[in-house]
Amino acid sequence: MLREWEPGEVRTMDDFVAELRKLKARAGNPSITQITRRVHLAWQRAGRPCGEWPARSTVGNCFRFGRRRPNADLLLAVVHALVDGDAAAVSAWRQALRTVLGEAEAAGRVAAAGRLPDLPAGHVVREGLVERASHVLDDGALVLEGQAGIGKTSLAVDLARHIRTAGPVLFADLRGSAVGGAPPADPRAVLESFLRILGVAGERIPYGLDARVRLYRQLLGASAPLVVLDDAADADQVRPLLPAGPPGTTLVTSRTRLAELDGVRRMSVPALEPKEALAVLRATAGAGRIEEDEQTAGRMAELLGRHPLALSVIGRHLREHPDWELADYSPEPLTALALEGGVRAALAATDAKLPGESRRLLRLLALHPRRPFTARTAAVLAGRPDTETRALLTALVRSHLVEEGAAGYHLPNLVHAYARERIGIDEPASCVRRAVERVFVHHYSTGVVAV
């Protein structure tokens, strides 16, 4: 529980200012003049020269939203004045300010370019999917959605290379699912990069988001631009970066279904076709390694759900371990190697952005056999009402961690393996045992005795 003087959760400078305004109200709503006098008195006692004391207007600016260059020293002095020197409270505000400034700096770091990125060595063009996407796409925006590592970025770049445009090309990594705690890119910072690429001098770039959006769309105008927005976090991040409309094409990739984004077409990126999966293994492991036992290689691809990232990981392992025969890759070592090689990190980044109860449900679903299940079964596993469980499943489906089909819900093989790892770490054995008992009783009572 928060103490009276401590801030709530803050991530942006505007959040910090909002909390500072609440603190001012809790402190009896002193006037800016009174706060300024308190700051002057504190700095006088600390021996700071009069030339450093802030003006009343400068103190007043601490309570304004849209701060561009916050003075951390003064902000903490204002907090000190409002909490009457409470050391614990000042320390909490100092930590909140460090978090805000660190988040702002990290979110402001943007990877943007005026050209398309290079694709990794061994990349296999998914010609059928590119053709299908080309039929879906016209002037406007197309969102490519799918599971982590399923090949959304590669597809977007391949598709973009098929689009002829006389206008500018803009690419940005929005870091919606970045590994390592990096925050998603700030749309305002992305627009600054785009405006510089479009030839706007730094001093001419406006500060506010709305002003940047207006200038960006004005410059693109009727020039038929090609904009690729990779790894979007949510609709709010994407919306300011969309050009005003046709002519032109915008491609967006995301691990989340951006249902709130209006006026765009959507396409779910599926797993590779069997031939494409073998092609990825050949490209990464070497054609000879695969052709010596193509049937076993095909079974390996199926066990990995024909997942591009997982196949690339196993292909590299095959190349680096020529003493391993394809038959050595039995199911459990195969999925373990794929997780260790990067799939775990990709899934964990998606998992980390889920609500807590959806994350717990994902782990409990690993207790179910690898076959379709109903929302009722999921509710029994979770020990929650059906309506609540459906909402949790919806969050998992939106994040492409659970698939929904005519036969019910399904956990992809690699997600199942990841969730199976996590349940032993995140859930106590007693909870796991009770979940298994609940689902056993449920299936027994409904006649599904095969379970």
318-328 confidence digits (pLDDT tens): 999 999 999 89
Mean pLDDT over residues 57-63, rounded? 91
423, 280, 416: which is closest to 339 by C-alpha?
416
Mean pLDDT over residues 263-273, rounded? 93
- Give dist(CA 141, CA 175) in Å, integer: 19
**Region of residue 286 (left: phi > 0; alpha: psi -120 to 50; beta: else):** left
- β-bridge partners, 226: 169, 249
Do residues 272 and 126 make contact, with C-beta atoms less than 8 angstroms apart? Answer: yes
The pLDDT score that the predictor gives to residue 297 is 95
- Give dist(CA 281, CA 288) in Å, integer: 10
Mean pLDDT of the chain: 88
Backbone angles phi, psi at 306, to 5 degrees: 50, 45
361, 297, 362: which is closest to 334 by C-alpha?
297
Long-range CB contacts (within 8 A, 24+) of 354-358: 354/395, 354/396, 354/399, 354/401, 355/392, 355/395, 357/382, 357/384, 357/388, 357/392, 358/392, 358/395, 358/396
Do residues 343 and 313 make contact, with C-beta atoms less than 8 angstroms apart? Answer: yes
What is the DSSP-derived secondary structure letter of residue 373? B
Mean pLDDT over residues 110-133, rounded? 88
SS3 250: strand
What is the DSSP-derived secondary structure letter of residue 286? -
Do residues 122 and 283 make contact, with C-beta atoms less than 8 angstroms apart? Answer: yes
Please say if the pLDDT value at position 303 is more than 80.
Answer: yes
Q: Which of 146-160, 250-264, 267-281, 430-444 has the lowest mean pLDDT?
A: 430-444
Answer whether 0.85 is exceeded by the pTM: no
Please say if the pLDDT value at position 450 is more than 60.
Answer: no
Do residues 226 and 166 make contact, with C-beta atoms less than 8 angstroms apart? Answer: no
pLDDT band at 451 (very low <50, low <70, confident <90, very high): very low
pLDDT band at 209 (very low <50, low <70, confident <90, very high): confident
SS3 228: strand
Do residues 126 and 144 make contact, with C-beta atoms less than 8 angstroms apart? Answer: no
Mean pLDDT over residues 417-438, rounded? 91
Mean pLDDT over residues 97-103, rounded? 77
The pLDDT score that the predictor gives to residue 1 is 29
SS3 115: coil
- Give dist(CA 212, CA 199) in Å, integer: 14
Q: Which of 73-87, 171-185, 211-225 has the lowest mean pLDDT?
A: 171-185
Q: Which of 105-109, 117-121, 143-147, 309-313 has the lowest mean pLDDT?
A: 105-109
pLDDT band at 448 (very low <50, low <70, confident <90, very high): low
Mean pLDDT over residues 389-409, rounded? 92
